[in-house]
Amino acid sequence: MDRTERILDLVALLLDAREPISWAELREHFPADYGGSDDAAERKFERDKAELVELGFPLSYVQGDDERRDGYLVDRDVYYLPEADLTKEELAVLYAAGSAALASGAFPGRDDLAHALRKIGFFAGESLPTPRVRMELGTGQEGQEKEVSARLEQLWEACSTHKWVHIVYGSPKQSGPTERRVDPYGLALRRGVWTLVGYCHLRQGLRTFHVHRIRDLKVNTARPRTPDFEVPADFSLDAHVAYFPWQYRFHAPMEVALRLSGPLASRAGSLFPGAVLEPVEEGVTRARFPVTFVDGLMRFVLSLGADCRVEGPPEARERLEQMAARILEKHAVVDGNGQRVIA
């Protein structure tokens, strides 16, 4: 029996077991593999155990008590995911979103996603409609889709196996591309742009990299079954990749209060997700939330018009006035009455 077949048989045996399986019983089930001397058999089983753990199989050894014996057991609560319990409408939305991502041409883990969609279709018990979508994910330059897609697959694998990557990166802040060794922690898609977050050995710290700016990429192939790094337990993609312009980390957090009226009042939650909303009066809502790039927020506030006003802090109001004055200065003309108006 070759190793792959043995591993699969081990998985089937352990999943089917309702009680811990002792080492003696394992040797009886695999006499040709775990036979011979005790030392050789134990070394082979240790290698097989390591392979199972690496594959995400929650195998552990339990000490027996009055109710059960010693042996190896699978933690079923960890191995099996809980039922999602989605309605047919929710399944249809999930299927549509997955299909759109798959059709984009630049999405990592395409095989895994396609397999998941087939499973959704199977368990839905009926044919789910394939959405007719046209989805373009920004790559920075036209014609880069295939290149970005290939790099996303490499980075997806490197993130999964915890292997460092060597990249040649073209940053707009540098005069030329730089070579870097990066421990890839995760990938994020924000507003059509894929971003890699990882530990940069050149800068000695966590950095973000736009995938479309990676000129060349090589994954470490040495010792493929051994991880090169561990992702910190407190690492979070959201802390490093912004959803909205005001979340880019250009300065210390500043709490901003906005007053939304008219049709914007009912949209406050969707315009500023995560904000603390306070009803002020009929048709008026106050939104409070932390900001780390006040200019990004002020640009958005200006685009919302007169129904969105900045209540505080004073620094934010002052910055809004400065930006509004600059717009007026650049676009205003003098009308027949000698008044300055926006052209």
Whether 50 maps to a domain, the answer reads yes
DSSP of 247-261, one letter per residue? Answer: GS-SSS-EEEEEEEE
Residues 6+ apart with CB under 8 A from 94: 86, 120
Q: Could you give the angle at the alpha carbon of 27 between the alpha carbons of 22 and 33, nearest 5°?
A: 140
Q: Which domain CATH number covers 162? A: 2.30.30
Number of other residues whose CB lies within 10 A of the CB of residue 333: 9
Instruction: Please report the pLDDT score of residue 127 as a whole number.
Output: 56
The proportion of the chain whose per-residue pLDDT surpasses 70, expressed as a percent, equals 87
Q: Could you give the angle at the alpha carbon of 327 between the alpha carbons of 323 and 330, nearest 5°?
A: 135
Which residue in 92, 72, 56 sits closest to 24, CA to CA? Answer: 72
Phi and psi (nearest 5°) for 91?
-60, -40
pLDDT band with cut points at 50, 70 and 90 for residue 133: very low
Whether 280 maps to a domain, the answer reads yes
Give me the torsion for CA of 294, 297, 303, 307, rounded to 10°.
-100
What are the tens digits of pLDDT across the range 307-316? 999 999 999 9
Instruction: Quote the tokens at residue 177.
Output: 């591309």
Least confident of 4-8, 40-44, 110-114, 289-293: 110-114
**Both 100 and 185 in a single domain?**
no
Residue 137 has pLDDT above 50, yes or no: no
Helix (H, G, I), strand (E, B) or coil at 211: helix
Across the range 106-122, mean pLDDT stands at 75
**Both 251 and 235 in a single domain?**
no
Higher per-residue confidence, 3 vs 285 = 285
Higher per-residue confidence, 198 vs 175 = 198
Domain that holds residue 110: 88-127
Residue 185 exposure: Cα atoms within 13 Å on the Cβ side: 21
Whether 101 maps to a domain, the answer reads yes
DSSP of 309-338, one letter per residue? Answer: EEEE-HHHHHHHHHHHHHHHHHHEEE-TTS
Q: Which residue has the tokens 């790094």?
A: 229
> What span, in angstroms and rounded, lies between the C-alpha atoms of 297 and 341?
25
Least confident of 34-48, 97-111, 148-162, 239-253: 97-111
Q: Which domain CATH number covers 14? A: 1.10.10
Instruction: Please report the pLDDT score of residue 123 as a whole number.
Output: 63
Residue 26 has pLDDT above 50, yes or no: yes
Residue 138 has pLDDT above 50, yes or no: no
Q: Which of 71-80, 135-144, 308-317 has the highest mean pLDDT?
A: 308-317
Residue 100 has pLDDT above 80, yes or no: no
**Both 287 and 216 in a single domain?**
no
Residue 12 has pLDDT above 80, yes or no: yes
Which residue in 211, 307, 320, 199 sits closest to 259, CA to CA? Answer: 307
* Domain closes at, from 240, 259, 288: 240
> What span, in angstroms and rounded, lies between the C-alpha atoms of 31 and 115?
36
pLDDT band with cut points at 50, 70 and 90 for residue 91: confident
Instruction: Please report the pLDDT score of residue 74 as a whole number.
Output: 82
What is the domain count for the chain?
A: 4
Instruction: Please report the pLDDT score of residue 297 as a whole number.
Output: 94
Higher per-residue confidence, 124 vs 33 = 33
Whether 133 maps to a domain, the answer reads no
